[in-house]
Structure 1
Amino acid sequence: MPVLTRLMPSPVVVDIRAGALDDLAAILSDQRIAPTGSLAFAISGGSGQALRERFAPAFPDADWFDDADGTLDGAVKLADSIKRAGRYDAVVSLGGGKVVDCAKYAAARVGLPLVAVATNLAHDGLCSPVATLDNDMGRGSYGVPNPIGVVIDLNVIREAPARYVRAGIGDVICKISCVADWELSHEVNGEPVDGLAAAMARQAAQAVLRHPGGIGDDAFLTVLAEALVMCGLSMSVAGDSRPASGACHEICHAFDLLYPKRNALHGEQCGFGGTFATYLRGDLDTAREMAGTLRRHGLPVLASEMGFSDTDLVEAVRFAPQTRPGRYTILEHLDLSTDQIRDAYTDYAKAISS
């Protein structure tokens, strides 16, 4: 019998610790990343500019690009700028999620590996094979290679707005619901479930769900950062976003499309959506545990806490399946009417408060 093995794309470097950026030059000199040391840095106009001032002296031959604005047009512009400027070993993103997603798309477009240097932990995009970018139709997801390196300096993370760190907690915890949706589709429709991908996403969520610390603790931030990386890698293992995107993300995308001027963060909406979907699935104990953890970290568990009315919530849940045609989750399974959604949400609000 032949011995078979699975080869999965994964970073050659994952450095998560306080002070990691002090060694960024050494990390980027890794021959597997930048054999000639020629680098293109993609930055934002906020934290990225401050990091440029800090690191430019250590990389005198690097070129710096500030086109990473979180849009598809910006990502294409970034790719064109990098292509015109010269030959590079790798692209390095310095900033938050918008910068990472722009740089992932641009690096893929010009055929270069990406090193993601995260300045916050708002969602699992820092190590996923997906770039989420704003476009003329709203927002789209684009398949890209995983980063070849991930660097997360906990000292930098602590300087980020607390809300952007808490949001990552919601985006991790909702994976409990994502995997349950995947397994539901398997039971009903026979959709294959990749056991390794499911295990990676679920265990990442459980690690954050049950950790007693908070965002001021290095131990908790390390677990959260590792969980976000694992969730991203679970999508690479599956070859699909299935282990990390279910009813929770359908609800999140519905909020984004129906109410684009609201300012709720992706992870906040997904944490809420995953908890509500878990309740709809009939798993009250887990829904209460998820809600309790979200509350402890200052995250919303009700629509009103994100600036949405109950009517907004009902409309979003009703619309949510249209955001992912062909994906089967608890929302498609129950196919609730408007009145049923309203009643279910009223019962959910009472259940998690009792």
Structure 2
Amino acid sequence: MPVLTRLVPSPLIVDIRPGALDDLGAVLADQRIAATGRLAVAVSAGSGAALRARLEPQLPGADWYTVTGGGSIDGAVKLADQMRAGTYDAIVALGGGKIIDAAKYAAARVGLPLVAVATNLAHDGLCSPVATLDNDAGRGSYGVPSPIGIVVDLDVVKQAPRRYVVAGIGDAVSNINCIADWELSNRETGEAVDGLAAAMARSAGENILRHPGTVDDDDFLVSLAEALVLTGISMNVAGSSRPASGGCHEISHALDILHPTRAAQHGEQVGLGAAFATFLRGDRELAGQTASVLARHGLPVTAAQLGFSDEEFVAAVHFAPQTRPGRFTILEHLDLDPTAIRDAYTDYVKDVSA
């Protein structure tokens, strides 16, 4: 009987613990990643630059690049062009989500492996095969190879603004809604569900939903970081963002498009989107549990807490299906008009505020 299996792209190194940065040089010296020690290090002007003095003695052969343009496609292309002038074994991205996404895109353009060194846990882009970058049309998602190494120093994460850490909770918990949307599409349209990808993403979300800790605890931070890594790998398994992108993400994309200068953290938006989409699905118990967990961590559970009026949120929910043509979620299934969305949102607020 033949042995059937599949190869899943995944990081060679996942190092999540306090003090992980102290061993970064040793990790990168491993010949599986950097045989000669020639590294390009991409940093932000903020958190990444502040760590440069600490890390330079560990990386004597590295060239350092400050990423300009934030998380934009122009900044990522410029970074790639600059790196073409050197000869490197790998790229190291040191910073938050915008820097890591820009470096992932640049690494794909120059054909080099990437090691992601996260300074916060704002969203699951840490390990995903997707780079989300601003462009002339607003914001786009670009397929890229996922990082070959993941390093998360919990001591560094604790120094990040709290908002940039708890946002990752919203992204992780939203997985549960994303898988429910995927399974709904399977029943209604026949779309295939990858069971392994679904199991990984759902387990990651469930773990954070039910974890009693907070971002002040190392145990919880390890669980959150692992959940975000597993979510990224689940997208590699599925070959798309489907395990971690449902109606909640469509709502977030709509807010980004309709209010580009006012959009909140991605994890904040998808957390609220997940609670409301779960409510629309008719699972009021899970919607209430999701909202309760978000609120316990200081995340928004209403449009007002997110910085939008009820009407703006209703308009975003109505517009949301246009952000992902061809994707089927509870929003496409119900196809609600603005009045029905407004009524449902009013009922949702009453439930989560009770």
For the aligned pair, the TM-score class normalised by the smaller chain equals over 0.9
Deviation at 1:351, TM superposition (A): 1.4
Report the equivalent of 1:101. Answer: 101
Aligned twin of 1:301: 301
The residue number in structure 1 matching 2:110 is 110
State the match for 1:81 in structure 2: 82
Alignment deviations for residues 16-48 of structure 1 (CA, whole Å, 9 cap, x no partner): 000000101111111110011110000000011
- Runs (5+) with no aligned partner, structure 1: none
The answer for the alignment partner of 1:58 in structure 2 is: 58
What one-letter code is carried by the residue in structure 2 that aligns with 1:163? R
Q: CA separation in 2, counterparts of 1:216 and 1:61? A: 36
Deviations 1:45-83 (A, max 9, x none): 001111111111221211011125211001000001001
CA deviation profile, 1:122-160 (whole Å, cap 9, x unmatched): 000010000000000000000000100000000000000
Amino acid at match of 2:240: D
Residue type of the partner of 2:161? P
- Tell whether 2:212 aligns with 1:212: yes
Which amino acid in the other structure matches residue 97 of structure 1? Answer: G
Give TM-score, length-normalised by structure 1: 0.99
Which residue is equivalent to 1:221?
Answer: 221
Shift of 1:264: 1.2
Q: Determine the C-alpha separation between the residues in 2 that align with 1:150 and 1:57.
A: 20
Say which SS state the counterpart of residue 84 (structure 2) adopts. helix
Structure 2 unaligned runs (5+)?
Answer: none
How far off is 1:353 after superposition?
2.1
Shift of 1:352: 1.7
What letter corresponds to residue 44 of structure 2 in structure 1? S
Task: State whether structure 2 residue 129 is matched by structure 1 residue 129.
Answer: yes
- Of stretches 68-77 and 173-182 in structure 1, the one that deviates more from structure 2 is 68-77
AA aligned opposite 2:178? C
1:60-111 deviation line (CA, Å, top 9, x unaligned): 2110111252110010000010011x11000000000000000000001000
1:272 paired residue number: 272
| C-alpha distance in structure 1 between counterparts of 2:65 and 2:14, whole Å | 24
Q: What's the counterpart of residue 230 of structure 1?
A: 230
CA distance in 1, matches of 2:53, 2:78: 23
**How far apart are 1:260 and its partner, in Å?**
1.1
* Aligned equivalent of 1:260: 260
CA deviations over 1:290-341 (Å, ceiling 9, x no partner): 0110010000000000110000011000000000000000000000011000
Q: Tell me if structure 1 keeps the 8 A contact 2:256–2:263.
A: no
Deviations 1:216-273 (A, max 9, x none): 0000000000000001111000000000000000000000110112141100000000
Aligned to 2:227, the other structure's residue is in SS state helix
Does residue 168 (structure 1) correspond to residue 204 (structure 2)? The answer is no
What's 1:310 paired with?
310
Question: Which residue number in structure 2 is paired with residue 249 of structure 1?
Answer: 249
* Paired letter, 1:32: R
CA distance in 2, matches of 1:261, 1:49: 26
Distance 2:205 2:11 in 1: 21
Q: Deviations over 1:165-217 (max 9, x none)?
A: 01000000011000000000000000000000000000000000000000100
Match of 1:148 in 2: 148
Q: Say if 2:255 and 2:316, in contact at 8 Å, map to a contact too.
A: yes
Paired amino acid for 1:83:
R
User: What amino acid does structure 2 have at the position aligned with 1:29?
Assistant: A
Which position in structure 1 is the counterpart of 2:71? 70
Give the Cα–Cα distance (whole angstroms) in 1 for the partners of residues 206 and 136 of structure 2: 37
CA RMSD between the two structures: 0.7
For 1:187, the equivalent position in structure 2 comes to: 187
Distance 2:77 2:283 in 1: 44
- Cα distance in 2, alignment partners of residues 59 and 179 from structure 1: 41
Amino acid at match of 2:114: L
Mapped to 1, the partners of 2:87 and 2:209 lie a distance apart of 44
User: 3-state DSSP class of the match of 1:213?
Assistant: coil
Q: CA–CA distance in 2 between the matches of 1:76 and 1:115? A: 18
SS at match of 1:122: coil
Report the secondary structure of 2:158's partner residue: helix
Q: Which amino acid aligns with 2:256?
A: D
Amino acid at match of 2:101: D
Counterpart for residue 337 of structure 2: 337
Q: Residues of 2 paired with 1:178 and 1:258: CA distance?
A: 22
Residue in 2 that maps onto 1:33: 33
